Structure 1
């Protein structure tokens, strides 16, 4: 990583954290605002939340091509502008049609921002430090959401509509800041040819036929298709249940209070914020497919704990402890996935299709977030045992799909840090020293080189550091 790309990455992370901070001001209170403060009813409020997902499903298929053709920066700026306009629209709308229209604009803007920022991070990072970059993004997102939600809770008052206008105003301002920060980022003129160590060049060299692109090329990538299926199951079994099925199960089956549920959500955020970089050190040297498989097992234990909470509902303290443990275990799994899944999407993509791969995976996430509440909400509220059984099976399915994915990945895609060591072993010593300095400056783990290497020759084979898992 050069000084210029490091500065660009820091700007991207700062803007992303500020937008998450603004989003935290409104997300926990949006349903109450639409249904009670604006007196538009619970049905309208539920539709508003659904329209966010619908808007994302409409715009994401076009977002990837726009990113790859125009670059991620103008797409991120346009998304931030749409999100700011949508947020202000939600604040000022007093009728159902105006509220729906604002929700569509806001949902479209937010969904466009996600793959654009992910592509910017890819352009400003190298495979050796990409996991750390995405882990930092996830950490800042959760920290921003948590702090924003906490401060928003201190400001909001259902008897004072003006307090909600202040929240939406702050959110809109944060998206304006994100757009302004993104507009000042200096990205590389063209995407890196070495998106990963997998040898996925952009193609189009002199005398060569243009490589196929678009949806057909993506669907022909068996590893990416497997990752998308895996991603759908992951998002369905975790994020798709947080505010719907699991909440309904906790209230109806475990009989815990909304305040206790809030404590469980706080435990989820706390685990992510406190454990993210500790977890990063443990997983960034491991095979990505095996890390994801372990997450599936952790989530299996989490859903079993939720099941236990329903069985001991009469013993309130135990039920609450089990639900809090469920959310905390989900947070641990999320912390393990953040430096694993998003960098893997980037390393699977040919350089010319990074935006399309990121958008496709974001589309899979949105599909899971749309289907998850629709299926989980009613089941969590009424069909308690089938609900837990379904999600235990989904979590085990995550582990199985992850191991299947590992068979379709190259060594470089599955374990890029090991690949960086193997590449370093065949480089001239001066080149190795430059690479080690660049990785150290970015905060990534060092590339070990045997001390007896002679200047001017190739570096001898680099041995793995103790504890490194192949």
Structure 2
């Protein structure tokens, strides 16, 4: 714990703990609310919207707090709030209480993310940030996979209170995560001062000034489009399409999702190492182009019969390659484009854009699939990907020096501690 490397590893582990806890709940939340508690599918669907609304409302304060307050305190308190919201969600008995608890969790999660990112930025030289965010992505995916596996063994959807032990376990893990983050993040301000980074040296940068920068507006557009084409559909539209419009059964779908998570964890390090001399904007464009192909593969069952399971597995496997390019790049790229003293607010704006996408994505896909238009659903995702690729190439020409010098070897560096 005395070295910067040790603190960074513990900090990443603390984040993965919180993800594991919620990962034990999230895959079963819809079934718990709609069926086990008997509140119906509409209430369950609106619960995910409530998460997004809570995140969107909290995003501006989250970025300001990450820049102006102690990010370690903000991150730790946000995780405590996540634990409280999880307990409230476990015992919510009517739609309004469910939605309020979900919105509270979404707000707490939004408060936590920029603070953690600012701590990582302060502890990481600019030329090694992509590596650290790659490790954060790996830890998050492994935590989510472990949580989902544990939740699958413990979940009980036969009664309204059957899942409460899983919720309470997730809350306890969030509290442990808060303690770990508080311990690992100590000295973040001092680290910033010694490095001369000055990430929070200026407090006068408003969101208006941040959004006045054209490259940042383009980055927000890219984040919105690329999220619409993947993460906004991963938990809602894509599973609904697979189960409704193909012959794939839930067991095969679950296995394909698991393969995706494992591949993301396995490929992130090598992909970051292989692509380190590429600009982040170019890799975002490449990610979007890859996902055009992924959605084409997902659409093949509509044209070719008899191979639906194979196409679904290939689609989820190919999605993972694009994910390994997007996640480690987006936050460092946002930080490189941010005005001095506004890294947290800039990354919060990007998080807000992705949250908006996760809120409206399921609505769009639900409408198309509800009208029995699976081909239009696939075409819409491909259109989002093409638009994201074009925007990324435009941003590359607009801000050619924004990505920073790439590091020389893949590792979490010995950081200032």
Taking the aligned partners of 2:195 and 2:346, their CA distance within structure 1 comes to 12
**Cα gap change, 1:252 to 1:98, in 2 (>3 Å):** closer
Superposition pairs for residues 375-390 of structure 1, below 5 Å? 375-381=364-370, 382-390=372-380
Q: Secondary structure at the match of 1:350?
A: coil
Which residue, 316, 341, 353 being the options, matches 1:327?
A: 316
Taking the aligned partners of 1:441 and 1:101, their CA distance within structure 2 comes to 39
Q: Kindly provide the CA deviation profile for residues 113-151 of structure 1, in whole angstroms up to 9, marking residues without a partner as x.
A: 111111111111111221111111111111111111011
Q: Kindly provide the CA deviation profile for residues 52-83 of structure 1, in whole angstroms up to 9, marking residues without a partner as x.
A: 01111111122211221112112112211111
TM-score, structure 2 as length reference: 0.92
TM-score, structure 1 as length reference: 0.82
> Shift of the alpha carbon at 1:36?
2.0
> Shift of the alpha carbon at 1:212?
5.2
Confirm or deny that 1:404 pairs with 2:394: yes
Who is 2:413 aligned against?
Answer: 442
RMSD over aligned Cα atoms: 2.5
Superposition pairs for residues 120-269 of structure 1, below 5 Å? 120-159=119-158, 163-184=162-183, 185-189=185-189, 192=192, 213-269=205-261
Q: Secondary structure at the match of 2:342?
A: helix
Q: Secondary structure at the match of 1:154?
A: helix
Who is 2:271 aligned against?
Answer: 279
Which 5+ residue runs of structure 2 have no aligned equivalent? none
Which 5+ residue runs of structure 1 have no aligned equivalent? 205-209, 422-435, 445-470
Q: Secondary structure at the match of 1:442?
A: coil
Q: Secondary structure at the match of 1:352?
A: coil
Say which one has the larger Rg: 1
Taking the aligned partners of 2:85 and 2:362, their CA distance within structure 1 comes to 23
Contact 2:205 2:339 in 1 (8 A): no
Taking the aligned partners of 2:200 and 2:32, their CA distance within structure 1 comes to 51
> Shift of the alpha carbon at 1:261?
1.7
**Cα gap change, 1:131 to 1:203, in 2 (>3 Å):** closer
Who is 2:85 aligned against?
Answer: 86
The higher relative CO (CA closer than 8 Å, separation ≥ 6) is in 2
Who is 1:207 aligned against?
Answer: none
Superposition pairs for residues 423-438 of structure 1, below 5 Å? none
Q: Secondary structure at the match of 1:218?
A: helix
**Cα gap change, 1:251 to 1:14, in 2 (>3 Å):** same
Confirm or deny that 1:295 pairs with 2:287: yes
Contact 2:292 2:386 in 1 (8 A): yes
> Shift of the alpha carbon at 1:361?
0.7
> Shift of the alpha carbon at 1:33?
1.3
| Count of aligned pairs | 413
Q: Kindly provide the CA deviation profile for residues 208-244 of structure 1, in whole angstroms up to 9, marking residues without a partner as x.
A: xx78511122122222111111110000011111122
> Shift of the alpha carbon at 1:253?
2.3
Contact 1:260 1:320 in 2 (8 A): yes
Taking the aligned partners of 1:375 and 1:203, their CA distance within structure 2 comes to 39
Confirm or deny that 1:112 pairs with 2:131: no
> Shift of the alpha carbon at 1:6?
2.3
**Cα gap change, 1:202 to 1:53, in 2 (>3 Å):** closer
Confirm or deny that 1:416 pairs with 2:405: yes
Who is 1:9 aligned against?
Answer: 8
Taking the aligned partners of 1:441 and 1:304, their CA distance within structure 2 comes to 36
Contact 1:201 1:350 in 2 (8 A): no
Confirm or deny that 1:353 pairs with 2:342: yes
**Cα gap change, 1:96 to 1:376, in 2 (>3 Å):** closer
> Shift of the alpha carbon at 1:107?
1.6
Q: Secondary structure at the match of 1:189?
A: helix
> Shift of the alpha carbon at 1:359?
0.8
Taking the aligned partners of 2:134 and 2:176, their CA distance within structure 1 comes to 22
Q: Kindly provide the CA deviation profile for residues 278-305 of structure 1, in whole angstroms up to 9, marking residues without a partner as x.
A: 1111112212121111111110110111
